[in-house]
């Protein structure tokens, strides 16, 4: 059962234990608080008492579990969990997101995992331009539709735009996608296309600056730090308005491989969280 919960909630065994503890403590806290309130109101036990008790438990539960989740380090999980319940009850529409990727898809997987229980965001489509890319396997595993695109279709994107419309896509996320986004697409999704770059823009951006080429240039220039830049996409490579940056040190023994690992850790930690802020703030 616990293994099934780990897979369903996409957490490790330690976080699962903390989540279950939060549920238990939160349930006890809201039950205790509801009883105390009814005692304060001096109501006798009866039908009205039990109806009020159940109503108070229902109202207090999200507050109690959220407060308890903070010291246990599970606030992010419970925020998404409660938002999901609320949006189901209220019928609120989710933002449908397409992830564009050209490679292994590690960032895509982190984003999918992060929004798996989300009540506000649905990862609805994977767009890939490279046959055999690892992200295609991720799309198949996650049962997310995968749209393969050719260069000529992308540069004359009317058919491609129609396909995005058919999937009812509201927001575009670039996660290791190596083609420049055409102007026609930017006009249709103004302020709704976000990219992550493996360096501290405006340094080491532009055509040809991706992957190991960025890390090699950073090390060759004896930079003391590197990092990630999350930004909106405009008509130029790596040029749109900056949203967020995170920094990591570059030491004297650094290699492109070790620096890439540091950058991946920053990407996986920050990109899903920042996307949530951007998408929900624009709703």
The set of catalytic residues is 197
Cβ proximity of 97 and 173 under 8 Å: yes
Tell how far CA 49 is from the center of its chain. Answer: 43
Which residues, in sequence order, are bridge partners of residue 97? 123, 171
165 CB burial (10 A radius; 0-12, 13-18, 19+): exposed
Cβ proximity of 124 and 97 under 8 Å: yes
Q: What is the DSSP letter of 150?
A: -
Rounded to 5 degrees, what angle do the CA atoms 267, 273, 274 make?
Answer: 80
Please give the Cα distance from 265 to 150 (Å, whole number). 31
Tell how far CA 132 is from the center of its chain. Answer: 24
Tokens linked to 228: 């990630």
Put residue 98 in one of left, alpha, beta given phi > 0 → left and psi -120 to 50 → alpha.
Answer: beta
Q: Computed over its alpha carbons, how large is the radius of gyration of the chain? A: 23
């Amino acid at each position: 059962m616990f293994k099934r919960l780990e897979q369903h909630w996409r957490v490790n065994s330690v976080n699962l234990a903390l989540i279950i503890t939060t549920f238990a403590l939160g349930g006890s806290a809201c039950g205790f608080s509801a009883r105390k309130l009814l005692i304060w109101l001096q109501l006798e036990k009866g039908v009205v008492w039990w109806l009020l008790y159940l109503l108070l438990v229902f109202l207090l539960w999200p507050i109690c579990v959220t407060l308890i989740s903070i010291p246990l380090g599970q606030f992010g999980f419970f925020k998404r969990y409660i938002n999901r319940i609320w949006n189901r009850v209220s019928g609120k529409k989710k933002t449908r997101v397409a992830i564009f990727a050209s490679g292994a898809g590690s960032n895509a997987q982190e984003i999918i995992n992060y929004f798996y229980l989300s009540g506000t965001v649905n990862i609805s489509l994977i767009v890939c331009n490279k046959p055999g890319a690892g992200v295609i396997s991720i799309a198949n595993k996650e049962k997310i539709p995968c749209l393969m695109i050719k260069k000529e279709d992308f540069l004359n994107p009317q058919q491609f735009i129609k396909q995005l419309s058919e999937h009812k896509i509201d927001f575009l996320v670039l996660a290791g996608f190596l083609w420049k986004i055409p102007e026609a697409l930017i006009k249709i999704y103004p302020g709704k296309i976000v990219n992550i770059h493996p360096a501290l823009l405006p340094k080491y951006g532009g055509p040809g600056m991706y992957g190991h080429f960025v890390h090699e240039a950073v090390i060759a220039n004896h930079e003391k730090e590197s990092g990630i830049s999350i930004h909106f996409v405009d008509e130029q490579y790596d040029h749109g308005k900056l949203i967020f940056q995170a920094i990591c040190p570059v030491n004297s023994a650094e290699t492109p491989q070790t620096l890439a690992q540091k950058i991946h850790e920053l990407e996986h930690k920050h990109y899903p969280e920042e996307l949530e802020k951007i998408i929900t703030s624009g709703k």
